Structure 1
Amino acid sequence: MAIIPVYEPYLGGNISLYVNECLTTGWISSRGAFISRFEKAFAEYVGAPQATSVANGTVALHLALDALGIGIGDEVIVPSFTYIASVNTILQTGATPIYVDSLEDTLQVDPQAIRNAITPRTRAVMAVHLYGHPCDMDAISTLCRDHDLLLVEDCAEGFGTRWKGQHVGTFGDVATFSFFGNKTITTGEGGMVLARSADVMDKCRRLKSQGVSPTREYWHDILAYNYRMTNIQAAIGLAQIEIADSLLARKKAIAQSYKQALAGLPLRTHDPVGPVDHSFWMCSILVDDHVQRDPLRKHLAECQIETRPFFPPAHLMPHCRANVTLPAAESISTRGINLPSYPGLTSEQSERICGSITSFFRQNLI
Structure 2
Amino acid sequence: MIPLCIPEIRGNEWKYIKECLDTNWVSSVGSYVDKFEKDFADYLNCKFSVVTMNGTSSLELALRTLGIGEGDEVIVSSMTFISPVNTIRYVGAEPVFVDVCRDSFVMDVTKIEELITSKTKAIMPVHIYGHAVEMDLLKEIAKRYNLYVIEDATEALGSEYKGEKLGTIGDIGCFSFNGNKLITTGAGGMMVTNNEDYGHRAKYLSTQTKTVLENGAFYHEEIGFNYRMPNVLAAMGVAQLEMVPEFVEIKRRNAKFYNELFEKVKGIKPVIEREGTINCYWLYSILVEDEFGASRDQVIKVLKERGVQARPFFMPVHDMPPYKECRHGDMSITNEISLKGINLPSSVSITENEILTVFQAIKEISLKR
Partners of 1:334 and 1:340 lie apart in 2 by: 19
- Compute the displacement of 1:197 (Å): 2.1
CA contact 2:47–2:195 (8 Å) conserved in 1: no
- Compute the displacement of 1:235 (Å): 0.8
Partners of 1:10 and 1:61 lie apart in 2 by: 25
Partners of 1:196 and 1:140 lie apart in 2 by: 18
Aligned to 1:268: 269
- Compute the displacement of 1:195 (Å): 2.3
What are the within-5 Å matches in structure 2 for residues 305-320 of structure 1? 305-320=308-323
| Cα RMSD, aligned residues only | 1.2
Partners of 1:259 and 1:222 lie apart in 2 by: 52
Aligned to 1:349: 354
SS at match of 1:131: helix
Aligned to 2:180: 182
- Compute the displacement of 1:360 (Å): 1.4
- Compute the displacement of 1:306 (Å): 0.4
1:299 to 294, 297, 302: 302
Partners of 2:286 and 2:335 lie apart in 1 by: 16
Partners of 1:86 and 1:293 lie apart in 2 by: 26
- Compute the displacement of 1:264 (Å): 2.5
SS at match of 1:193: strand
Aligned to 2:51: 53
- Percent of aligned pairs sharing the same letter: 37
Aligned to 1:361: 366
93-102 or 207-216, which deviates more: 207-216
How many pairs were matched up?
362
What are the within-5 Å matches in structure 2 for residues 175-254 of structure 1? 175-213=173-211, 215=213, 217-254=217-254
User: TM-score with structure 2 length normalisation?
Assistant: 0.96
Partners of 1:298 and 1:341 lie apart in 2 by: 18
Code of the residue aligned with 1:361 in structure 2: it is S
SS at match of 1:337: strand
User: TM-score with structure 1 length normalisation?
Assistant: 0.97
- Compute the displacement of 1:43 (Å): 0.5
CA contact 2:212–2:218 (8 Å) conserved in 1: no
Q: Can you list the C-alpha shifts for 1:270-300, whole angstroms capped at 9, x where unaligned?
A: 1101210011000011111296100000000
Aligned to 1:157: 155
315-324 or 221-230, which deviates more: 315-324
Code of the residue aligned with 1:225 in structure 2: it is F
- Compute the displacement of 1:196 (Å): 3.1
Aligned to 2:61: 63
- Compute the displacement of 1:346 (Å): 1.0
Aligned to 1:329: 334
Specify every segment of 5 or more residues in structure 2 that has no aligned partner in the other structure, as ranges.
Answer: none
Aligned to 1:18: 16
Aligned to 1:111: 109
Partners of 1:362 and 1:104 lie apart in 2 by: 26
Partners of 1:167 and 1:80 lie apart in 2 by: 23
Code of the residue aligned with 1:293 in structure 2: it is R
292-301 or 261-270, which deviates more: 261-270
CA contact 2:46–2:168 (8 Å) conserved in 1: yes
SS at match of 1:296: helix
